[in-house]
Amino acid sequence: MAKIDELFDAMLAENGSDLHLAEGQPPKIRRHGLLMVLDQPLLTAETIRTYLEEICTRERWQHFLACGDADFAYALGDKARFRANYFYQAHGMGAVFRTIPSKIKTVDELNLPPVVKTFSLLRSGLVLVTGPTGSGKSTTLAAIIDLINETSARHIVTIEEPIEFVHPNKKSTICHREVGTDVNSFADGLRTAGRQDCDVILVGEMRDFETISLAISAATTGTLVFGTLHTNSAVKTVDRMIDVFPAGQQPQIRTMLADCLKGVCAQILLRTADGRGRIACNELLLPSSALSNSIREGKTPNIRNIIQAGRGEGMQLMDDAIQKVLTEQRITAEEAYMKATDKSRFGKSAVKA
């Protein structure tokens, strides 16, 4: 048993989602969205080095010392897995560990809108799950991949940094590839996936021009591609995909994206009214001729109107999702106001609260 395991046990006992370590500070955990201090002494240089080095391979530790950054997954026996990020900060070493649930939850168990299930039926195109860090994007994607795995025989390749949810082979065959271990980069993983006869590709993070370009190309040529972006609305997602390209290439990319974009699921987490948990709210954009035309013509502000007009098909604006859980009194008016896109819509109720 590694010395750091007692901190993981303490975090799990408190139902925490993240463990924060920084030299000169006590260990902290994130619980229901808020940071709280564990009843532990301040971390000395020697202590934190022992914690971090003990659970790291020699090669990865040397990489961290040389580059100042490392990402990998760590398993606490069969209790839980954690996504680890090592870094240097002003006062020495630091690390953050994100809990990866041991069980992959279904779309229904996550209380996601039922239309999310339709993404698993697609045979080609691009589906983006977006949101800020810690909003549950990986959990939502894992549920969709698991649904494909349960219902159809396909070859699924995941490219992640690090591998988070480990899917057993069910009806599908799943190949997990870790950036930095199995492949040099997300872009390299996408490039080689085209030669692996895969039906579905999951890209853990689409954060640079080359990765986004290769993902769009794969989606356009018959592969179903799932990816994530750190955007919190459908409009911002489409703009981000296009803006990463040089101006001269943007008309071509708009045309390709207009043809291959099959859905955007933006997600945020809100604290529940009792303060004992968090609840997901989603904005959903689905394909339509109006969407394709708006993307092709560079009229992305029209997307909000397209979502409003598509409610009957399952589309949903984020503010409408927030309004629903507020009306059900599952969140506070203040929380709704803080997370809303249109603050004026929630302003009066927040003031009354």
pLDDT tens column, 39-62: 999 999 999 999 999 999 999 999
CA pair distance 36, 50, nearest whole angstrom? 23
pLDDT at position 33, please? 85
Q: Give the number of domains in the chain.
A: 2
Query: Where a domain ends, among 44, 70, 100?
Result: 100
Task: Over range 89-115, report the average pLDDT.
Answer: 93
Q: In what order do the strands lie in the sheet with 92-100?
A: 34-37, 28-31, 18-22, 92-100, 80-89, 69-76
**Residues 145 and 254 grouped into a single domain:** yes
Asked if residue 14 has pLDDT above 70, the reply is yes
pLDDT at position 353, please? 43
CA pair distance 12, 97, nearest whole angstrom? 12
**Residues 91 and 130 grouped into a single domain:** no
pLDDT tens column, 221-254: 999 999 999 998 999 999 999 999 999 999 999 9
Which residue carries 């590709």 as its tokens? 201
**220-241 burial, b for 16+ CB within 10 Å, e for fewer?**
beebbbbbbbbbbbbbbbbbbb
Of 300, 278, 347, the closest CA to residue 319 belongs to: 347
**Residues 257 and 215 grouped into a single domain:** yes
The residue range of the domain holding 155 is 114-316
- Tell me the CATH number at 251: 3.40.50.300
Specify whether the CB–CB gap between 27 and 21 falls below 8 A. yes
Which residue carries 């911002």 as its tokens? 236
pTM of the model: 0.88
